[in-house]
Structure 1
Amino acid sequence: MSAAQQGSQQPTAWTEPPWSGWIETTGDALLILEAARRGLIPRVTRRLVDAERRMITSGSVFVFDEDESGIKRWTDGLFWSPSRILGNFLLYRETDKRGNRSARVDPEDSPDVMKPDGTLSRPKNDHTSMGIDKQRERTLLGSLTNSYKFKPDGLMKKTFSLTIGGVAQHLISYYKIEDVENGRLRSPSSLPELAALAISAEYLDKTHFRNPPKVEIGADGILRYCGEGDELDPSPSTSSPNTPNSHPPTIPLLTDGHVSEAAKRPKRFLPYGPNRTRKKSNKSPTDGHE
């Protein structure tokens, strides 16, 4: 085989990511996997070389199949915090260097800022100064808010995985918070050409998910994604009688959930009714006492 023929069989170098946008929900991730399954979005079929890693920027999204690509562990040359679970995703936040990956931030290390009135205050985090509320902050950052020494203006990495037919499929996405908040990154569900795709039933099997999404079977018999699943681990105050953590309705409240043996025994039959009074004693209250 000639060198030219060998060269023609080498994979084409990546110059831009397979897709660019913001993966917000499980439905968004499934739309990208479905698009890749249909060949609308190319899958990564080999490990990226150093030069190709430069295309990893805010909005980059990659999809790969472990068997097809031979990739068991995705590497991008960047330094990341430990992962945090958010629904069906894993979140990572970029750190300055490897030495800071496990270094927690001590609040005492944060420099104080002098206010005009002469008092001192702690500087706000970047996401706080952007006016992001707590729920939105959780969607974007999970619990990776101020626990580690993160890289200023660094990336977030959000990953999603499914195993179909014994083969693991992975989605890796990158974003910056300000790009999402400023509308520079669009989600698949907001793009008509992707939102119109019918997600394959094999992708919607609830056994694939830590937090199964809501699905329904239409009149045509096709299973469809309907939205994110309910939050996991509800607090006791929000548990319903049907949740595993709640006690059956027959067990009284303010107990540990166990019914005593005495409570299980049937009540005695009283032939003269429960209101029968006892015969009064002939002794006076002072009998036997001086």
Structure 2
Amino acid sequence: PLTPSAHGFCANAADLLFVVEGVLRGHFPLINRRVVRDERDQVIRSGNIFVCETSAGPIKRWTDGLDWSNSRVMDGGFVYRQLREGAVMPAKGEGRKAAEDAISGRSAAERDRLRPYIGSLFSTALFHDDGLIKKMISIATGGLVYHVVAYYNLDDVQFGRL
């Protein structure tokens, strides 16, 4: 199966830049192919971080085959939450705002505590209960563009498993 570039939790853009620096220095592998269906469950896991070069390399866009929420800008990149099986994010004008804004009884203190990990993606009606969170950022350096994709589970981060 595909080997991730690194493993851990990237709390912010600086952590993601650190991983790219590790790839550029040869400490971590650069990913040169997409995940294939047969290896998805083994590879797309909490803590796995992938770095691919998208400007001249074989991967133009990272795809993992999972269903994700709409993106939210967070710390210079984007964050997504895994959707429940069969869930579909409503299109604009079809209740999307209500679905995205649903707080499901979370207190203001809990929302503030979770915001560094999930941004504004609080709605639990559509999200997988124990699903992954995907953080993505593109970094341009040396005339090339590197795409960093980090996966994590909220419990893994909160309980120090990553």
**TM-score, with normalisation over the residues of structure 2?**
0.83
CA RMSD of aligned residues (A): 2.7
Q: Distance in 1 between matches of 2:20 and 2:79?
A: 18
Residue 197 of structure 1 corresponds to which residue in structure 2?
none
Pair 1:136-2:106 in alignment: no
Pair 1:59-2:47 in alignment: yes
Whichever of the two has the greater Rg, that structure is 1
Corresponding residue to 1:90 among 64, 67, 78:
78
Contact 2:33 2:58 in 1 (8 A): yes
Q: Distance in 1 between matches of 2:86 and 2:144?
A: 31
Contact 2:4 2:31 in 1 (8 A): no
Q: Distance in 2 between matches of 1:84 and 1:123?
A: 19
Residue type of the alignment partner of 2:122: T
Deviations 1:71-128 (A, max 9, x none): 1111001000110001212000111246522364868xx9xxxxxxxxxxx9645xx6
Q: Distance in 1 between matches of 2:56 and 2:27?
A: 17
Pair 1:164-2:144 in alignment: no
Contact 1:86 1:142 in 2 (8 A): yes
Corresponding residue to 1:101 among 81, 89, 108:
89
Q: Distance in 2 between matches of 1:133 and 1:150?
A: 17
SS of the residue aligned with 2:40?
Answer: helix
Pair 1:45-2:32 in alignment: yes
Give 5+ residue unaligned stretches, structure 2. Answer: none
Give 5+ residue unaligned stretches, structure 1. Answer: 1-12, 111-121, 186-290
Residue type of the alignment partner of 2:134: K
Residue 128 of structure 2 corresponds to which residue in structure 1?
151
Tell me: CA distance 1:148–1:86, structure 2 relative to 1, closer, same or farther (3 Å): farther
Pair 1:29-2:6 in alignment: no
**TM-score, with normalisation over the residues of structure 1?**
0.48
Deviations 1:16-39 (A, max 9, x none): 423111000221111100100111
The one of the two structures with greater contact order (alpha-carbon pairs below 8 A, sep at least 6) is 2
- Pairing 1:182-201 to 2, within 5 Å after superposition: 182-185=159-162
Deviations 1:157-215 (A, max 9, x none): 00111112332101100111111000000xxxxxxxxxxxxxxxxxxxxxxxxxxxxxx
SS of the residue aligned with 2:9?
Answer: coil
Contact 1:17 1:56 in 2 (8 A): no
